[in-house]
Structure 1
Amino acid sequence: MTRPVDSGVIFIARLALSVLFLWSGVMKLLGYAGFVGYLQATGVPFVQVGAPVAVAVEVLGGVFLVLGFKIRPLGLFMAAYCIVTAVLGHDFWNVTDAAMQRDMVIHFCKNVGMAGGFLLLYVTGAGGISLDGARAPRGGRGLR
């Protein structure tokens, strides 16, 4: 069982992670043609499948984070998603322009850091301020 302060901190962490995904997913949706063009220009495979999947993952993942719904499986899934998008979308090792390479390194590391945050959510669960917490049986042991 988590302490109230732990649940509050986990809630803030979920919101902090959700901001990036909700913003990014909505911006990809609003500028969908540009997003698809970017993916094609960077050589991402299966763009016609990957683009709608990326938008759905980011928007739905962001909503699930806010609500605290299915956080443990979401944490594992989003950690993997962050690593895959780091490798496919921020391949700094293929960039020759120094300024662009620096930008790609920053984005790559950001994705790796977010993956770490998602792995922590996998371990902690959603906390008490969540749909998962509201559905958890009371009096159990361990973190919700």
Structure 2
Amino acid sequence: MMRPVDSGVIFIARIALAVLFLWSGVMKLTGYAGFVGYLQSKGVPFVQIAAPIAVAVETLGGLFLVLGFKIRPLGIIMALYTVATAITGHDFWNITDAALQHDMMIHFWKNIGIAGGFLLLFVTGAGRISIDGARAPHRGLGL
């Protein structure tokens, strides 16, 4: 049974995650050529397909987080995306400069932690302060 305060905490968690992804998606879109170049430097295959998918996942995913729309499936998609970006974008095991390697390791594990947050959203759902919550049948005041 979900307490009323739980929905507020889930909403705050969704917003905290959304800010990161909306900002990142918009920055990728406004600096699209640089983002494509970065993906090419990382050896990402099919960059012409991967780049728009990344922008869409981050901007639409961020928007869906704010709205609380389709949060359970979104949680899985965003967790997988965040782990994939950790592996491709923060590959600290390929870095020889100690300071840069340390920085990449922090970013790698940060992404893994964020993926954990998305998995929690998959389990909890969006809460009542959401489109999903508004569409779900409610049983009393506790849901």
TM-score, normalised by the number of residues in structure 2: 0.95
Q: What's the offset of the Cα at 1:61?
A: 0.2
Partner of 1:84: 84
When the two chains are superposed, the root-mean-square deviation of aligned CA atoms in Å is 1.4
1:105 aligned counterpart, secondary structure? helix
**Identity of counterpart residues, as a percentage?**
78
Q: What's the offset of the Cα at 1:14?
A: 0.2
Q: 1:80–1:115: 8 Å Cα contact kept in structure 2?
A: yes
1:72 aligned counterpart, secondary structure? helix
Partner of 2:12: 12
1:82 aligned counterpart, secondary structure? helix
> What runs of 5+ residues in structure 1 fail to find an aligned partner?
none
Q: What's the offset of the Cα at 1:65?
A: 0.2
Structure 1 runs (4+) greater than 3 angstroms displaced: none
Partner of 2:116: 116
1:126 aligned counterpart, secondary structure? coil
Partner of 1:29: 29
Partner of 2:70: 70
> What runs of 5+ residues in structure 2 fail to find an aligned partner?
none
Residue type at the aligned position of 1:60: L
User: Which stretch has the larger CA shift, 87-96 or 59-68?
Assistant: 87-96
User: Which stretch has the larger CA shift, 7-16 or 92-101?
Assistant: 92-101
Q: 1: distance between equivalents of 2:62 and 2:129?
A: 16
Q: After superposition, give the CA deviation of every residue in 1:95-139 in whole Å (9 maximum; x if it has no partner).
A: 111111111111101110000000000000000000000000121
Partner of 2:139: 139
